[in-house]
Structure 1
Amino acid sequence: MATTRRTGREIGVETVGWLSFATMFIVGTDTFLVAPLLPELREQFHVTTQASGWLVSAYALGYALCALIAGPISDRMDRRRMLLVGMTGFAILTASCGLAWGFWSMAAFRFLAGAAAALATPQIWASIPQLVPADRIVRTMGRATAGLAIAQLAGIPLGAFLAAASWRFSFFAISIAAAIVLALLTVFFPPVARTTAPVGAATRGYRAVLTSRPLVVALIAYFVFQTGNFAALSFYGSWFARDFGLDTTGIGVAMIFIGGGNAAGSLFGHRLVARWGASRSLTVGIVVMAAGYLLVAVTGLLMPAVGLLAIIMLAGGFVFPVMMATLQAGAGQARGTVSSLSNVAMYAGTTIGVGIAGPVFAETSGFTGVAILAITAYLVALLLFTAARSARPT
């Protein structure tokens, strides 16, 4: 009778996969935690709608700036140690957000929490190829990617529900969860062999990317897309509170429904990609998102708006892997660098998008101004992605 017992090596691979999932889920959840808290934080800290958006941007800015140097530095250091240091700082600084006494202290703690996250998460992506057999790398990275995808689904409603007790409790809960993950990483995450890259080797990946026109254009397209994407996403909660009078619990319910669309797109969108191909899928997905925001801009009813936003997020979950595949297509040996730069592009886009969208949301009625901003960014991104494909050697 055939045995089903797994070897120690296989169990180790499973451990790396689930620890990668947990790490990316916790960090990803914290990324999206603040959006539903903005209405309450604005009242607590007595700031304008425009200023409150910077509590989202501060985290993204800290991550983006730190990621630019953390990736190359980690190539010559102990990845496991950097992972543990980053998660330790992340847990402490997230708890510090719950102790913030004013707008500027909160912004500072969010910035530093983002920087700590940028120390930790690149080590997950870089360690997996060194820790698991070649035939399990994709599956294990899929676990880490799933952590991020589910975090995007859970982060916003989780923040809203936790805030029903206290906005401070939201940060304390994430900090406790991060401390638990840190303990698991300390005990179970295996050592990672140091690389022997020569001095200056870490910059070669950046040179390879920046001298490739298709990659540069694709990264710019991704940045533009995420600028519009997070400009809109970050103000869903503020719109529901201002125009429809929803409290934090009501916002959480709406966000669960909207996030369900994103999860469905992420889980099942690959079937359409297999049928249509990457180019057509990207075009259809972005056009659907732009059309959805156009309809959102003209609706004045809550339920149709929530339904449209769910469809938009479904399309977003569908096109995200296509965009990542487009970025990776011409990366060659610089895949890690492209992944790092795509993260920087996303968080930089979040920072700029929220900074622009705050005044736009405050000065326009409904969701019209923010929707127009997102539509413009999507269409420009689509043109740039098309240009990147055209510039790629055949």
Structure 2
Amino acid sequence: MSESSATRPPERQVSEETTTDRSGRRWWTVAIFAYITLEGAGLQMRGAVIPALRRSFEVPEWQLGLVAPAGTVGYVLAVVVVGAVAGRLDTRRLLLVGIVGTGAGILVMGVAPSFALFLAALLGRGLFTGVGRGTDRPLLSHLYPTQRGRIFGFYDMMWAVGATAGPLLVAAAVAAGNWRLAYYALGLAFVPVVALALWLPTPEIESGDDPLDWAELRRITRQPAVLTMAVALFLSTGFEGGLFTWVTTYAQGRLPGSLATASLSVMLAAYIPGRFASGWLSERLGYVRLAVGLVGLTVPAFVYTFFLAEGYGLLVGLFAIGLALSGMYPTLLAYATEAVPEHSAPVNATAAVTSAAGIAVVPAMMGFVISDTGVAGAMRLLALPLAMLALVLSFALYRRVR
């Protein structure tokens, strides 16, 4: 320590630390939250824009079905790669690549002259999104090492804000006469986020991710918290994926046409207060207790929605499910990250892969059930992953309090 720093008045030291925190940690948090809000909007725009793509490009249904996997494959691949190389590459550079590439990909999707180029742009955007999301949450983990549950909950709350706004942006663009306007507007919204990330200095953290090797990978995969997270996220996101994919179909005939279309937005809107509340409660209840409480609230909401509710009661039930279920992902991820904080990026990659698998597998299985027995029976079968999730989390809580 230099003499000048040793003799510096305490008040000045506190002032300079506060200034550093305000210009470093807080502004990086603003940049990441802005990025995830825009990314959430872009993700949920995919489904909403499909009818407009059909009219614009005149493609058959089976080609439109490629929209979801085109974005997911690139995203999962990039998240896994980022998780594997974390600790070896510059975090700021990776995050910049993710933000710039995601925004550019969205703009290219808007100008794509053919459906094939639209899919190619979606694949590229997914790759860059994987780079960004493989980096941003681990960075938050190191910026807020004692508040991971709260900051992850707020992070996912901002995603929910964007996810709720995305379909509305598409609807406004279609009403204005051109679906491409939604992509132009969202792409331009990335410009100030890119400018902020370029202006900010390299984030200052006490310790980042350690380089990953085979020995460390084996140690991570043997951690009970990481295993619990992986299984629980597969089940919870599979449950979510089933709702995201089929709830609008289920609402058809049970609600007026316009409300049936908006039923998913009602559920997504509940994610905003739900994730805020879960982030606030995680530090007071603990991650496992909170997760058990969330699934405990989801069970009666599910039973009411798909076994008892009629008419507008369906919307009430969907809002209740979204309110309870929304906090599951950030809570479980914070729980596993807390077990191995020096490898937050690989844990984040594990969460991304298992959740993507759940979202892919469960809705596909429901499709086969729907073709045989109808959508009502398929929705009620979601009780199986929900019950298994309750068992997994109850066992984790038992081990923790034993």
TM-score range, shorter chain: 0.7 to 0.9
- 5 Å-filtered alignment, 1:4-23, equals 8-12=19-23, 13-23=25-35
Larger radius of gyration: 2
The code of the aligned residue for 1:167 comes to W
Deviation at 1:96, TM superposition (A): 2.6
Coordinate RMSD, CA, aligned: 4.0
349 and 98 in structure 1: CA distance in 2 versus 1, 3 angstrom threshold: farther
Q: Distance in 2 between matches of 1:329 and 1:272?
A: 16
298 and 136 in structure 1: CA distance in 2 versus 1, 3 angstrom threshold: closer
Deviation at 1:340, TM superposition (A): 2.6
TM-score, with length taken from structure 2: 0.77
- 5 Å-filtered alignment, 1:319-358, equals 319-328=328-337, 330-331=339-340, 333-358=342-367
Asked if 1:82 corresponds to 2:90, the answer is: no
Count of matched residue pairs: 387
220 and 318 in structure 1: CA distance in 2 versus 1, 3 angstrom threshold: closer
Partner of 2:239: 228
Partner of 1:190: 202
349 and 61 in structure 1: CA distance in 2 versus 1, 3 angstrom threshold: farther
How high is the sequence identity, in percent, across the aligned residues?
Answer: 18
Deviation at 1:225, TM superposition (A): 1.5
- Of 204, 218, 239, the residue aligned with 1:207 is 218
Partner of 2:312: 303
34 and 251 in structure 1: CA distance in 2 versus 1, 3 angstrom threshold: farther
Deviation at 1:270, TM superposition (A): 6.2
The code of the aligned residue for 2:85 comes to I
Deviation at 1:284, TM superposition (A): 4.4
Deviation at 1:36, TM superposition (A): 3.0
Deviation at 1:188, TM superposition (A): 3.0
The code of the aligned residue for 1:327 comes to A
Asked if 1:69 corresponds to 2:77, the answer is: no
Q: Distance in 2 between matches of 1:356 and 1:109?
A: 28
Q: Distance in 1 between matches of 2:99 and 2:189?
A: 11
Partner of 1:386: 394
Q: Distance in 1 between matches of 2:388 and 2:359?
A: 16
Asked if 1:313 corresponds to 2:322, the answer is: yes
295 and 55 in structure 1: CA distance in 2 versus 1, 3 angstrom threshold: farther
Long gaps (5+) in structure 1: none
14 and 274 in structure 1: CA distance in 2 versus 1, 3 angstrom threshold: closer
SS in 1 for 2:60: coil
Query: Does the 8 Å contact 2:149/2:287 carry over to 1?
Result: no
364 and 53 in structure 1: CA distance in 2 versus 1, 3 angstrom threshold: farther
17 and 54 in structure 1: CA distance in 2 versus 1, 3 angstrom threshold: same
Query: Does the 8 Å contact 2:78/2:127 carry over to 1?
Result: yes
Q: Distance in 2 between matches of 1:138 and 1:212?
A: 19
Which has the bigger relative contact order, CA under 8 A and spacing at least 6? 1
Query: Does the 8 Å contact 2:28/2:203 carry over to 1?
Result: no
Q: Distance in 1 between matches of 2:369 and 2:181?
A: 30
Q: Distance in 2 between matches of 1:335 and 1:134?
A: 11
Query: Does the 8 Å contact 2:149/2:282 carry over to 1?
Result: no
Deviation at 1:146, TM superposition (A): 4.0
SS in 2 for 1:310: helix
